[in-house]
Amino acid sequence: MAKKRSNAPAVHPAFADVPHEPGAPKPDPVVVAHGILRKFGGLTAVDVDHLEIQRNAITALIGPNGAGKSTLFNLLTGFDRPQNGAWEFNGHSLSSRSPAQVARAGMVRTFQLTKALSRMTVLENMRLGAAGQRGENIFAALLQPLWGAQEEAHTERALALLERFKLLEKKDDYAGELSGGQRKLLEMARALMSEPEIVMLDEPMAGVNPALTESLLDHIVQLRDEGVTVLFVEHDMHMVRRISDWVVVMAEGRIIAEGPPHSVMSNPAVQDAYLGAHHDTDLSEGQ
Protein backbone atom coordinates (compact mmCIF):
# COMPACT_ATOMS: atom_id res chain seq x y z
CA MET A 1 0.00 0.00 0.00
CA ALA A 2 1.43 3.31 -1.08
CA LYS A 3 1.38 5.91 1.65
CA LYS A 4 1.58 9.60 1.02
CA ARG A 5 4.58 11.09 2.72
CA SER A 6 4.01 14.41 4.32
CA ASN A 7 6.40 17.02 3.06
CA ALA A 8 8.81 18.97 5.17
CA PRO A 9 6.95 19.48 8.44
CA ALA A 10 5.76 23.08 8.56
CA VAL A 11 4.78 24.08 12.07
CA HIS A 12 1.47 25.90 12.22
CA PRO A 13 2.44 29.53 12.98
CA ALA A 14 0.19 29.76 16.03
CA PHE A 15 2.20 27.03 17.70
CA ALA A 16 5.63 28.46 16.90
CA ASP A 17 6.25 29.64 20.43
CA VAL A 18 4.28 26.97 22.27
CA PRO A 19 6.52 24.80 24.43
CA HIS A 20 6.41 21.09 23.69
CA GLU A 21 5.17 20.02 27.11
CA PRO A 22 1.92 18.82 28.71
CA GLY A 23 -0.50 21.64 29.54
CA ALA A 24 1.33 24.14 27.38
CA PRO A 25 -0.47 27.51 27.14
CA LYS A 26 -1.66 28.49 23.63
CA PRO A 27 -1.76 31.99 22.15
CA ASP A 28 -5.53 31.96 21.53
CA PRO A 29 -7.20 29.06 23.34
CA VAL A 30 -10.87 28.36 22.62
CA VAL A 31 -11.11 25.67 25.28
CA VAL A 32 -9.26 25.82 28.57
CA ALA A 33 -9.61 22.97 31.05
CA HIS A 34 -8.10 22.83 34.47
CA GLY A 35 -7.78 20.15 37.13
CA ILE A 36 -10.22 17.70 35.61
CA LEU A 37 -10.56 14.50 37.57
CA ARG A 38 -12.89 11.64 36.75
CA LYS A 39 -12.74 8.38 38.64
CA PHE A 40 -14.82 5.28 38.05
CA GLY A 41 -14.67 3.59 41.41
CA GLY A 42 -10.99 3.02 42.01
CA LEU A 43 -10.00 3.67 38.41
CA THR A 44 -8.82 7.13 37.48
CA ALA A 45 -10.05 7.55 33.91
CA VAL A 46 -9.13 11.20 33.49
CA ASP A 47 -6.77 13.33 35.54
CA VAL A 48 -5.86 16.36 33.44
CA ASP A 49 -3.97 19.17 35.16
CA HIS A 50 -4.25 21.69 32.39
CA LEU A 51 -5.22 21.65 28.75
CA GLU A 52 -5.69 24.40 26.19
CA ILE A 53 -7.03 23.94 22.70
CA GLN A 54 -5.91 26.50 20.17
CA ARG A 55 -8.66 28.25 18.20
CA ASN A 56 -8.88 27.68 14.49
CA ALA A 57 -6.42 24.81 14.46
CA ILE A 58 -6.64 21.04 14.18
CA THR A 59 -5.64 19.33 17.39
CA ALA A 60 -5.30 15.57 17.61
CA LEU A 61 -5.85 13.75 20.87
CA ILE A 62 -4.06 10.43 20.82
CA GLY A 63 -3.18 7.73 23.28
CA PRO A 64 -3.42 3.99 23.84
CA ASN A 65 -6.76 2.24 24.37
CA GLY A 66 -8.26 3.17 27.69
CA ALA A 67 -6.19 6.34 28.00
CA GLY A 68 -9.29 8.37 28.81
CA LYS A 69 -9.75 10.20 25.52
CA SER A 70 -13.44 9.44 25.10
CA THR A 71 -14.07 10.10 28.77
CA LEU A 72 -12.44 13.52 28.43
CA PHE A 73 -14.74 14.20 25.45
CA ASN A 74 -17.74 13.18 27.54
CA LEU A 75 -16.67 15.47 30.36
CA LEU A 76 -16.02 18.49 28.17
CA THR A 77 -19.37 18.12 26.39
CA GLY A 78 -21.49 17.57 29.49
CA PHE A 79 -22.27 13.89 28.90
CA ASP A 80 -20.39 12.97 32.05
CA ARG A 81 -19.57 14.87 35.22
CA PRO A 82 -16.07 15.02 36.73
CA GLN A 83 -15.41 14.74 40.45
CA ASN A 84 -13.35 17.86 40.10
CA GLY A 85 -12.31 20.49 37.63
CA ALA A 86 -13.41 23.47 35.61
CA TRP A 87 -13.32 24.29 31.94
CA GLU A 88 -14.18 27.21 29.74
CA PHE A 89 -15.25 27.64 26.19
CA ASN A 90 -14.61 31.10 24.76
CA GLY A 91 -14.03 32.35 28.26
CA HIS A 92 -17.40 31.11 29.57
CA SER A 93 -17.48 28.29 32.07
CA LEU A 94 -19.06 25.14 30.72
CA SER A 95 -18.83 23.18 33.96
CA SER A 96 -22.24 21.80 34.95
CA ARG A 97 -23.78 22.65 31.58
CA SER A 98 -26.05 20.08 29.94
CA PRO A 99 -24.93 18.43 26.69
CA ALA A 100 -27.57 20.38 24.78
CA GLN A 101 -26.34 23.69 26.22
CA VAL A 102 -22.78 22.81 25.32
CA ALA A 103 -23.83 22.00 21.75
CA ARG A 104 -25.84 25.19 21.46
CA ALA A 105 -22.85 27.15 22.66
CA GLY A 106 -21.08 25.93 19.53
CA MET A 107 -19.20 22.86 20.73
CA VAL A 108 -20.51 19.78 18.94
CA ARG A 109 -19.16 16.27 19.28
CA THR A 110 -19.51 12.88 17.66
CA PHE A 111 -19.36 9.52 19.36
CA GLN A 112 -16.85 6.73 19.08
CA LEU A 113 -19.73 4.26 18.91
CA THR A 114 -21.85 5.89 16.25
CA LYS A 115 -25.27 7.12 17.12
CA ALA A 116 -27.06 7.18 13.80
CA LEU A 117 -30.80 7.60 14.29
CA SER A 118 -31.62 4.28 12.68
CA ARG A 119 -35.28 4.56 11.78
CA MET A 120 -34.91 8.00 10.28
CA THR A 121 -33.65 8.64 6.80
CA VAL A 122 -30.17 9.96 6.19
CA LEU A 123 -31.61 13.31 5.14
CA GLU A 124 -33.79 13.54 8.24
CA ASN A 125 -30.73 12.79 10.36
CA MET A 126 -29.01 15.70 8.69
CA ARG A 127 -31.90 18.11 9.08
CA LEU A 128 -32.14 17.28 12.74
CA GLY A 129 -28.60 18.55 13.16
CA ALA A 130 -29.44 22.11 12.19
CA ALA A 131 -29.54 24.59 15.05
CA GLY A 132 -32.19 27.17 15.90
CA GLN A 133 -35.05 25.57 14.00
CA ARG A 134 -38.27 27.57 14.29
CA GLY A 135 -40.36 24.49 13.58
CA GLU A 136 -39.08 22.85 16.73
CA ASN A 137 -41.52 24.95 18.70
CA ILE A 138 -44.66 22.87 19.13
CA PHE A 139 -46.99 25.68 18.13
CA ALA A 140 -44.96 26.92 15.19
CA ALA A 141 -44.69 23.28 14.09
CA LEU A 142 -48.36 23.37 13.10
CA LEU A 143 -47.85 26.21 10.65
CA GLN A 144 -45.52 25.15 7.90
CA PRO A 145 -45.16 28.66 6.42
CA LEU A 146 -43.37 29.67 9.61
CA TRP A 147 -40.56 27.19 9.09
CA GLY A 148 -40.80 26.01 5.50
CA ALA A 149 -38.22 28.43 4.11
CA GLN A 150 -35.75 27.67 6.88
CA GLU A 151 -36.28 23.96 6.30
CA GLU A 152 -35.52 24.45 2.64
CA ALA A 153 -32.24 26.18 3.45
CA HIS A 154 -31.31 23.40 5.87
CA THR A 155 -32.11 20.79 3.27
CA GLU A 156 -29.87 22.51 0.80
CA ARG A 157 -26.99 22.60 3.23
CA ALA A 158 -27.65 18.98 4.16
CA LEU A 159 -27.50 17.90 0.52
CA ALA A 160 -24.26 19.77 -0.02
CA LEU A 161 -22.69 18.10 3.00
CA LEU A 162 -23.99 14.68 1.98
CA GLU A 163 -22.44 15.16 -1.40
CA ARG A 164 -19.12 15.99 0.21
CA PHE A 165 -19.37 12.91 2.41
CA LYS A 166 -20.36 10.67 -0.50
CA LEU A 167 -23.73 9.90 1.02
CA LEU A 168 -25.95 11.74 -1.43
CA GLU A 169 -27.31 8.62 -3.12
CA LYS A 170 -28.20 7.29 0.32
CA LYS A 171 -30.21 10.32 1.38
CA ASP A 172 -33.56 8.52 1.39
CA ASP A 173 -32.29 5.32 3.00
CA TYR A 174 -32.80 4.71 6.67
CA ALA A 175 -29.66 5.48 8.63
CA GLY A 176 -29.94 1.99 10.12
CA GLU A 177 -29.35 0.56 6.66
CA LEU A 178 -25.96 2.21 6.30
CA SER A 179 -22.66 0.40 6.79
CA GLY A 180 -20.52 1.13 9.82
CA GLY A 181 -18.23 3.48 7.93
CA GLN A 182 -21.13 5.29 6.33
CA ARG A 183 -22.66 5.84 9.75
CA LYS A 184 -19.42 7.45 10.91
CA LEU A 185 -19.59 9.76 7.93
CA LEU A 186 -23.22 10.57 8.54
CA GLU A 187 -22.56 11.42 12.14
CA MET A 188 -19.74 13.75 11.23
CA ALA A 189 -21.79 15.43 8.53
CA ARG A 190 -24.72 15.78 10.92
CA ALA A 191 -22.52 17.43 13.53
CA LEU A 192 -21.48 19.98 10.92
CA MET A 193 -25.09 20.90 10.16
CA SER A 194 -25.21 23.23 13.16
CA GLU A 195 -22.14 25.14 11.94
CA PRO A 196 -20.29 24.62 15.21
CA GLU A 197 -17.37 26.70 16.34
CA ILE A 198 -15.51 23.60 17.47
CA VAL A 199 -16.13 20.01 16.40
CA MET A 200 -14.92 17.18 18.53
CA LEU A 201 -14.64 13.98 16.55
CA ASP A 202 -14.12 10.68 18.35
CA GLU A 203 -12.30 8.41 15.89
CA PRO A 204 -14.01 9.89 12.83
CA MET A 205 -12.17 7.73 10.34
CA ALA A 206 -12.46 4.36 12.05
CA GLY A 207 -13.83 2.01 9.41
CA VAL A 208 -13.85 4.55 6.60
CA ASN A 209 -12.15 3.38 3.43
CA PRO A 210 -8.74 4.96 2.70
CA ALA A 211 -9.74 6.60 -0.59
CA LEU A 212 -12.59 8.43 1.07
CA THR A 213 -10.46 9.20 4.11
CA GLU A 214 -8.17 11.29 1.93
CA SER A 215 -10.98 13.49 0.67
CA LEU A 216 -12.43 13.82 4.16
CA LEU A 217 -9.09 14.86 5.55
CA ASP A 218 -9.05 17.59 2.94
CA HIS A 219 -12.50 18.54 4.11
CA ILE A 220 -11.39 18.78 7.72
CA VAL A 221 -8.49 21.00 6.70
CA GLN A 222 -10.92 23.13 4.75
CA LEU A 223 -13.15 23.42 7.82
CA ARG A 224 -10.21 24.80 9.74
CA ASP A 225 -9.50 27.25 6.97
CA GLU A 226 -13.10 28.40 7.24
CA GLY A 227 -12.53 29.18 10.91
CA VAL A 228 -13.70 26.01 12.65
CA THR A 229 -11.66 24.51 15.44
CA VAL A 230 -11.24 20.75 15.21
CA LEU A 231 -10.34 18.40 18.02
CA PHE A 232 -10.22 14.75 17.10
CA VAL A 233 -9.29 11.42 18.61
CA GLU A 234 -7.57 9.05 16.24
CA HIS A 235 -5.44 5.94 16.37
CA ASP A 236 -4.30 6.19 12.76
CA MET A 237 -0.95 7.99 13.01
CA HIS A 238 -0.91 8.61 9.29
CA MET A 239 -4.03 10.70 9.56
CA VAL A 240 -2.74 12.47 12.64
CA ARG A 241 0.44 13.46 10.88
CA ARG A 242 -1.35 14.40 7.72
CA ILE A 243 -3.76 16.99 9.07
CA SER A 244 -3.15 17.91 12.68
CA ASP A 245 -1.43 21.15 13.67
CA TRP A 246 -0.86 20.01 17.22
CA VAL A 247 -0.97 16.70 19.05
CA VAL A 248 -1.94 16.02 22.64
CA VAL A 249 -0.98 12.59 23.98
CA MET A 250 -2.87 10.96 26.83
CA ALA A 251 -2.04 7.83 28.76
CA GLU A 252 -3.72 6.45 31.85
CA GLY A 253 -5.87 9.53 32.19
CA ARG A 254 -3.04 12.06 32.15
CA ILE A 255 -1.66 14.23 29.42
CA ILE A 256 1.89 13.02 28.98
CA ALA A 257 3.05 15.04 26.02
CA GLU A 258 2.14 17.79 23.60
CA GLY A 259 3.82 18.88 20.45
CA PRO A 260 3.68 19.18 16.69
CA PRO A 261 2.80 15.96 14.87
CA HIS A 262 6.18 15.26 13.32
CA SER A 263 8.10 15.29 16.57
CA VAL A 264 5.73 14.30 19.33
CA MET A 265 5.98 10.60 18.60
CA SER A 266 9.69 10.58 19.22
CA ASN A 267 9.10 11.79 22.76
CA PRO A 268 10.28 8.94 25.03
CA ALA A 269 7.27 9.28 27.33
CA VAL A 270 5.00 8.71 24.36
CA GLN A 271 6.97 5.71 23.17
CA ASP A 272 6.80 4.30 26.67
CA ALA A 273 3.07 4.78 26.90
CA TYR A 274 2.42 3.18 23.54
CA LEU A 275 4.85 0.34 23.52
CA GLY A 276 6.03 -0.26 27.01
CA ALA A 277 9.43 -1.88 26.62
CA HIS A 278 9.42 -2.16 22.82
CA HIS A 279 11.32 1.03 22.25
CA ASP A 280 12.96 -0.16 19.10
CA THR A 281 9.71 -0.32 17.11
CA ASP A 282 9.44 2.69 14.84
CA LEU A 283 6.16 4.43 15.53
CA SER A 284 6.62 6.83 12.69
CA GLU A 285 5.67 4.12 10.23
CA GLY A 286 2.13 4.08 11.60
CA GLN A 287 0.82 1.33 13.77
Estimate the share of the chain in helix, then strand, then coil, as percent rounded to the nearest 5: 40, 20, 40
Residue among 7, 65, 96, 132 that touches ligand ATP (CB under 6 A): 65
Cα 271 off chain centre by: 24
Residue among 4, 81, 119, 278 that touches other proteins (CB under 8 A): 119
| Span 91-150, contacts to ligand ATP by CB under 6 A | 112
- Half-sphere exposure of residue 52: CA atoms within 13 angstroms, side-chain side: 20
Least gap, CB of 13 to other proteins (angstroms): 32
Q: Which stretch binds Mg ion (CB under 5 A): 66-74, 89-97, 154-162, 240-248?
A: 66-74
Q: What does 201 bind: other proteins, Mg ion, ligand ATP, none (CB cut-off 5 to 8 Å by kind)? A: none
Long-range pairs for 272-279: beta carbons < 8 A, 24 or more residues apart: 273/63, 273/64, 273/67, 273/249, 274/64
Q: What is the CA radius of gyration of the chain?
A: 19
Contact 38, 64 (CB under 8 A): no
Residue type, 71: T
Is residue 120 within the footprint of other proteins (CB under 8 A)? yes
Q: What does 66 bind: other proteins, Mg ion, ligand ATP, none (CB cut-off 5 to 8 Å by kind)? A: ligand ATP
| Span 78-107, contacts to other proteins by CB under 8 A | 79, 98-101, 103-104
Q: What does 147 bind: other proteins, Mg ion, ligand ATP, none (CB cut-off 5 to 8 Å by kind)? A: other proteins
Task: Indicate if the alpha-carbon torsion angle 66, 69, 72, 73 is positive or negative.
Answer: negative
Instruction: Write out the residues near Mg ion by the rule CB under 5 A.
Output: 70, 112
Instruction: Write out the residues near ligand ATP by the rule CB under 6 A.
Output: 40, 43, 45, 63, 65-71, 112
